[in-house]
Amino acid sequence: MMESQIHTIHQQLVNKEISCTKLVQERLDLLKLNTHNTVNSLLDTLALASAAKVDAKIESGQEIGLLEGIPFGIKDVYMVQGTYTTASSDLLKKYKSPYTATAIQKLFAAGAIPLVKENCDSFGHGSSSENTIFGAVKNANNPNLVGGGSSGGSAVNVAKDYTVFSIGGDTGGSVRQPAGYNNVYGFKPTYGRISRFGLMAYASSTDCVGPIAKSIEDIRIVLNAMSGKDIKDQTTYPSETISAVTISNTDAIKTVGYFKNFIDNDAIDTKVKSDFLATIEKIKAKGIQVKELDFFASDTLVATYYTLAMAETASNLSRLDGTNYGNRIEGASLKDTYSITRSENFSEETKRRVVGGNQVLSQGFSDEIYLKGLSVRDQIAANFEKDFHQVDIILSPVTPSSPPKIGDSLKDPLAMYLSDAYTVGFSLGQLPTLTVPQGTETGLQITAAKNNDALVLKFANFLKDTI
């Protein structure tokens, strides 16, 4: 538990080695001065007022909870009442949330302190955090490289210690991929474990709330705080709290699988491949049985994911026409108003997806494209089910290659979509998946069957001591 920042800071607060106000002010200053473009807006007034309350509580001798006074960041797609929620878009540049997302509300209830709304790809559309009106997010390790996306600002803030943890959103890899690009942990829980209420919808059938942090223990703590059934999101289910003890005994894991075609592939970097295979050897040396598994070709996964994600985002974003939300631009007629408002305020990438998605859903095409996409998705889910009868865990790289230079992925959207090859399948399967900063330059992804989130964390604990 040594490496848990939450436990360490909690102890410092309790022992009065640091005041919460000082802690929060220091992190706010770091965020304000940072040159990685991670900040869309600072929540300084709210943060300092909350910190003062925590200090008063400690001064008066009251006990504080583990998350109380811990500073964190929020991807700018979550509603936080009274704050700007822009989705990094021109359309919602001046939009203020009328209510607070359930996941964030639960963290507030536990006393965690929000510092910042974090830069990301607009509406979650992207894999690099360059598709934003706030300037491209720069990688924590090398500012010439992208921060990853879409939750790039969140991953960079954690990597640079500007926030203790951050809450990203993962539709097709947006927590796991930037976590990999910046060498931190990023978890996409089982779909439905955490309420999506108040998370701006991208593709509702795969959208997940996901914590990013520097240790497995901190991921566990934050995950527990946010999980649970919510009547405002009918896809949520009740889940048991995962204890530290449950995930520390790693004996239960006997078999690990990996998709051979992910690795025997021209698209994968030779170094990512050899590092991944070296990891597999280390796992075998620990007495774990490793099985090679067959899976869908990565371009099939990417095609299926983007077909469905575009369809869902076209539908979800249709409400953003300037009538009820956002920056309305008046045209000659109502139809013109819709058209100008959306044309001027959506990014190129968002428009590409809205046009693509409406095509997928339109009469005459939807049977052939949308329904086909749904049927392939069912086959993918069935394939996972079969695999998890054979293995406890599936291990994979997070990305086929290292982070691109800023500017490069904007030139070729198709190449950007294909770089999501290893993350999108698990999203379609709604499975729990964790990026750990080990094994390859951009980390490893640990996946288990639905609702086996604890097993994922358990295997992460095993890997931490194994490789």
Question: If we measure between CA atoms, which residue out of 443, 413, 424, 450 comes closest to residue 295?
Answer: 424
Question: If we measure between CA atoms, which residue out of 4, 451, 467 comes closest to residue 194?
Answer: 451
Nearer to ligand GLN, 111 or 169 (CB): 169
83 makes contact with ligand GLN (CB under 6 A): no
Instruction: Looking at residues 1 to 60 of the shown chain, list those that interact with ligand GLN (rule: CB under 6 A).
Output: none
Choice among 122, 174, 215, 409 that is catalytic: 174
170 makes contact with ligand GLN (CB under 6 A): yes
Q: Which CB contacts under 8 angstroms, 24+ apart, belong to 6-13?
A: 6/66, 6/67, 6/70, 6/164, 6/165, 6/217, 6/218, 6/221, 6/222, 7/66, 7/217, 9/69, 9/70, 9/164, 10/64, 10/66, 10/68, 10/69, 10/70, 13/54, 13/58, 13/64, 13/68, 13/69
Task: Specify the pairing of strand 165-170 against strand 185-188.
Answer: unpaired
> Quick one: which segment of 166-174, 330-338, 407-415, 446-454 binds ligand GLN (CB under 6 A)?
166-174
Q: Binding string to ligand GLN for residues 308 to 327, with x set by CB under 6 A, is what?
A: -x------------------
| Amino acid in position 318 | S
d(CA 341, CA 329): 5
Determine phi and psi for 249, rounding to 5 degrees: -85, 105
Determine phi and psi for 311, rounding to 5 degrees: -60, -45
CB of 124 to ligand GLN, least distance (A): 3
CB of 126 to ligand GLN, least distance (A): 5
Nearer to ligand GLN, 107 or 199 (CB): 199
Nearer to ligand GLN, 104 or 309 (CB): 309
CB of 432 to ligand GLN, least distance (A): 15
CB of 363 to ligand GLN, least distance (A): 25
* Structural tokens at position 290: 């490793």
CB of 128 to ligand GLN, least distance (A): 8
Determine phi and psi for 229, rounding to 5 degrees: -70, 140
174 makes contact with ligand GLN (CB under 6 A): yes
Instruction: Looking at residues 394 to 453 of the shown chain, list those that interact with ligand GLN (rule: CB under 6 A).
Output: 420
Active site residue 50: no
* Structural tokens at position 208: 């997940």
Nearer to ligand GLN, 199 or 219 (CB): 199
Q: How many amino acids of this chain bind ligand GLN (CB under 6 A)? A: 13
Nearer to ligand GLN, 126 or 326 (CB): 126
Place of tokens 């009740």: 238
Choice among 75, 106, 117, 458 that is catalytic: 75
Nearer to ligand GLN, 279 or 430 (CB): 430
Find out whether 74 and 117 touch, Cβ atoms under 8 Å. Answer: yes
Nearer to ligand GLN, 172 or 322 (CB): 172
CB-closest chain residue to ligand GLN: 174
Among 10, 106, 117, 125, binds ligand GLN (CB under 6 A): 125
350 makes contact with ligand GLN (CB under 6 A): no
Question: If we measure between CA atoms, which residue out of 392, 398, 394 comes closest to residue 438?
Answer: 398
Q: In which element (H, E) is residue 344 found?
A: helix 334-345
Active site residue 75: yes
> Quick one: which segment of 118-126, 213-221, 323-331, 453-461 binds ligand GLN (CB under 6 A)?
118-126
Choice among 50, 122, 150, 195 that is catalytic: 150
* Whether residue 150 has a cis bond before it, omega within 30° of 0: yes
Active site residue 333: no
**Binding residues for ligand GLN, per CB under 6 A?**
124-127, 150, 170-174, 202, 309, 420
Residues annotated as catalytic (active site), given as ranges: 75, 150, 174
